[in-house]
Amino acid sequence: MQKFTTLAAIAAPLPIQNIDTDMIIPKQFLKTIKRTGLREGLFYEMRFTVEGKKIEDFVLHREPYTNAKILVALENFGCGSSREHAPWALADFGIASVIAPSFADIFYNNCFKNGILPVVLPRADVDTLIQHAQSTSNSITVDLPSQTVKAGNHEFQFTLDPFRKHCLMNGLDDIGLTLEKAASISSYEAKTRAERPWMFA
């Protein structure tokens, strides 16, 4: 998992409440267990018509938002089913941070496991960021070490669990956390093998 420290990037405004995981990645794209190739399904029913024609005015189809790495949305982002394909699709598109007033718990937790920083800010601050993202100066800086979001002359502070912050800044998913203990695990296994060799026969 890539380390997350400071991200200065184009922010795409998506001022919609209750964006659920089926909207993020519809069920027909859940046949794979790979984390790549899902960008095509991201917000598919918002990006394409039933006939598969591109909806040109959807935000991620318009410049400069085609290169967005930050998404600014409204309350209850990621609600619905617990599919981990939702953060996979966002990450595969290049979205590294989502800013919203609130998130569904399971989606929020899944973001950290996939290198995405979900930032919770008050609705008034999010509205300001959406207006900024809709302007010609649409770059936003998300600074994890200082836990701030900067947009033009605005700066907002967000809170984050210290352990989750540590994991993101060091690029540690569940496997990475386990590997940090590799020396202790190997030592324990060697000791156990010496003390109880019959277990390994």
What values do phi and psi take at 62, rounded to 5?
Answer: -110, 140
* Per-residue model confidence as pLDDT tens digits over 127-182: 999 999 999 778 999 999 999 999 999 999 999 999 999 999 999 877 666 666 66
* Per-residue model confidence as pLDDT tens digits over 76-109: 999 998 889 999 999 999 999 999 999 999 999 9
Q: What is the pLDDT of residue 85?
A: 94
Q: What is the pLDDT of residue 182?
A: 65
CATH tag for 6-170 (out of 3.40.190.10, 3.20.19.10, 3.40.250.10, 3.20.20.80): 3.20.19.10
- Mean pLDDT for 109-134 is 96
- What does the domain layout of the chain look like in residue ranges? 6-170
Report whether the peptide linkage leading into residue 197 is cis, meaning its omega lies within 30 degrees of zero: no
- Quote the mean pLDDT of the chain: 91
